[in-house]
Chains A and B, each alone.
Chain A
Amino acid sequence: MVHIFNFKDKYYAYDSGSGSLHECDEQTAVYVKAKYETSEPIPELSPEKIAEIENGVKELGKQGLLFKEEIKVFPVKSSEVKALCLHICHDCNLRCRYCFADEGAYHSEREFMSLQTAQKAIDFLIKESGNRKILEVDFFGGEPLMCLETIKKVVSYARSEGEKTGKKFLFTTTTNALLLDDDAIDFFNREMENVVLSLDGRKEVHDAIRKTKNGKGSFDYVIDNIKKFVRSRGDKNYYVRGTFTSKNLDFSKDVIFLAENGFDSISMEPVVTEIDDLAIKEEHLPVILGEYEELCDKYLEKYKEGKGFNFFHFNIDLEGGVCLQKRVSACGAGNEYFSVVPNGDIYPCHQFAGDKDFLMGNVYDGSLNEDIRQKFATTCLFTRDGCENCFAKFICSGGCAANNYHFCGDINKPYPITCEMMKKRIECGMHALAVKKENKN
């Protein structure tokens, strides 16, 4: 299918069958959309213009770059496990109102994972990884830096076991940076492939939600730690990751605030919560979609000034990227990726942790509930309601199973609000790609 869209006065045709993006003029866009994509009346154009458009369509069609038939392929999913999200502790030194993890406790006791349990999780991952050589472990919480010494031992254990078994581990830690001291920075720079640092943007926005146990805003406690870490990071991966809520629908200001504070790898995510005064609702969508456009303009301004930064959701790789199998496979939760909580219980991903309906097993006996695993292994782009007719499908891969379940009651029912935001981010990402290419030429 061809998706015709515009970003202000720029018009584009994205061909989902081939994955190609073309820029065109407004008349061409309106004509192609009316003739080939909708039942809208075809605009009156001069015969010369119509001939030019039809020739263009024909030529690109011949090259397989427009109206290319989509391949409907159901993924062949391996039973090899690639990655674990290790909930190294279910406790946190902050009390953020929007926390999906119940301010770190996951609706249960506050607890820490023992070294023995963490090692069992590593053993489980190695055993279930089959022939796969590169394995990923994400230290998650609560707040992982409350358990830095355990993390160090787990990393050392995994490296040692990896050497014996021919596996290479890539580690990530997600942290609020409150305890990010020189020791942690040094360790992260040595051992972590990626570090995700939570910072919501402007001080007043961050402090309104991300509070200490004493109810004070945490911005002043974390900002210098994060700056110091980023300065020390060199060319290794990191993301400063914020969350926006209905309280800061002008979140482009927060992204730019982060960029102007020297962070060049940024992600800003819509909150996942049912808390009424923070939740993103349908009525917020027009403002949010406009805000993504505003962000895209500001992002490109920075790029043109030579102060460009990486915004996670505007990175659309249309030239390289993953293969079709991966694009239709959905996120991999519950099949190639699991989360392990402090007592060793296994869940499909961090967002299902603590939900007994999704308890899959435990690392101590290595068990995995095959019914639940099958449910996740068989989900893919083409089992998800409405995805087949969406232009964004090969880029979003059907969205987040947990969001689908929590908002729509089924991992195969995409949450429409998330879909709308995703589609807008993709359009912005494509526009950004076009502008950057134009600037290079």
Chain B
Amino acid sequence: MFKTIAKPQKRKVTGCGECRSTCQSACKTSCTVGNQSCERITREQNPEKIK
């Protein structure tokens, strides 16, 4: 018996390169992309956040 906890949203932008640099985060030693968001989608959803 499976219960789906999470699946990726359909909306994807691929390879636009607008995402933030991975190393500009908190750790400076354990970089990971798993907790980064897509900058393009974030901007589209929050147009005032990053103009």
- In contact, A83 and B23 (Cβ under 8 angstroms): yes
Contact, CB under 8 Å: B33 / A426: no
Residues of B within 8 A of A57 (CB): 2
Does B47 have its Cβ within 8 Å of any Cβ on chain A?
Answer: no
Tell me if A318 counts as interface (CB < 8 A to partner B).
yes
Contacting residues, chain A, for B26 (C-beta < 8 A): 194, 196, 239, 241, 267, 312
Taken together as a complex, chains A and B put the C-alpha atoms of A168 and B39 apart, in Å, by 14
A322 pairs with B19, CB closer than 8 A: yes
Bound complex: CA of A434 vs CA of B3, how far in Å?
10
List CB contacts (< 8 Å) of B6-49 with chain A.
Answer: 6-9, 12-39, 41
Chain A: residues with Cβ within 8 Å of the partner, total of 82
Looking at A19-27, A148-156, A286-294, the stretch in contact with chain B turns out to be A19-27
Q: Which of A53, A174, A320, A396 has the most CB of B within 10 A?
A: A320
User: A60-100, CB under 8 A of B: which get 1 and which 0?
Assistant: 10000110000000011010101101000000000000001
Q: Tell me whether A60 and B35 are in contact (CB under 8 A).
A: no
Interface SS, A side? mixed
Pick from B4, B15, B24: contact of A138, CB under 8 Å? B24
Q: Which of A65, A326, A394 touches B7 (beta carbons < 8 Å)?
A: A65
A397-410 near B? 1/0 per residue, CB < 8 Å? 10110010000000
Q: Is A321 a contact partner of B8 (Cβ separation < 8 A)?
A: yes
- List residues of chain B with CB within 8 A of the CB of A356: none
Output the nearest chain A residue to B34 by Cβ-Cβ distance.
Answer: A395
Q: Which residue of A lies closest to B21 (CB)?
A: A83
Q: Is the CB of B1 within 8 A of A323?
A: no
Q: How far is the CA of A433 from the CA of B4 in the complex (A)?
A: 12
A35 within 8 A of B: no
Q: Which residues of B contact A45 (CB under 8 A)?
A: none
The answer to whether A22 and B13 touch (CB under 8 A), given A270-B30, A418-B30, is: no
Contacts A422-B30, A422-B32 hold; do A397 and B22 have CB atoms under 8 A apart?
yes
Q: Does A351 contact B2, Cβ atoms closer than 8 Å?
A: no
Count residues on chain B whose CB falls below 8 Å from chain A CBs. Answer: 40
| Cross-chain contact B37 with A322 (CB below 8 angstroms) | yes
* Contact bitstring A25-51, B, C-beta under 8 A = 1, else 0: 100100000000000000000000000
With A196-B26, A350-B28, A351-B29 in contact, is A315–B35 under 8 Å at CB? Answer: yes
In the complex, the answer to whether B34 meets A269 with C-beta atoms within 8 Å is no
Q: Are A429 and B4 in contact (CB under 8 A)?
A: no
> How far in angstroms is the closest Cβ of chain B from A266?
9
- Selected contact of A270 from candidates B7, B24, B29, B33, CB within 8 Å: B29
Chain A residue with the shortest CB-CB distance to B45: A320
Check A414 for interface membership: any CB of B closer than 8 A: no
Closest to A266 in B: B26
The reply to whether A333 and B23 contact each other, CB–CB distance below 8 Å, is yes
A399: chain B residues within 8 A (beta carbon): 30-31
- Contacting residue for B35 out of A22, A75, A136, A317, CB 8 A: A317
Taking a contact as CB atoms under 8 Å apart, the answer to whether B6 and A319 are in contact is yes
Task: Using CB atoms and an 8 Å cutoff, list the residues of chain B in contact with chain A.
Answer: 1-9, 12-39, 41, 50-51
Known: A80-B17, A136-B21. 14 other contacts (CB 8 A): A82-B17, A85-B23, A136-B20, A170-B20, A194-B25, A317-B35, A318-B5, A319-B7, A322-B38, A331-B22, A337-B22, A337-B24, A399-B31, A429-B34
The 10 listed contacts between A and B (C-beta, < 8 Å) are: A21-B7, A56-B2, A75-B15, A83-B21, A319-B8, A321-B36, A331-B22, A332-B23, A396-B33, A403-B29
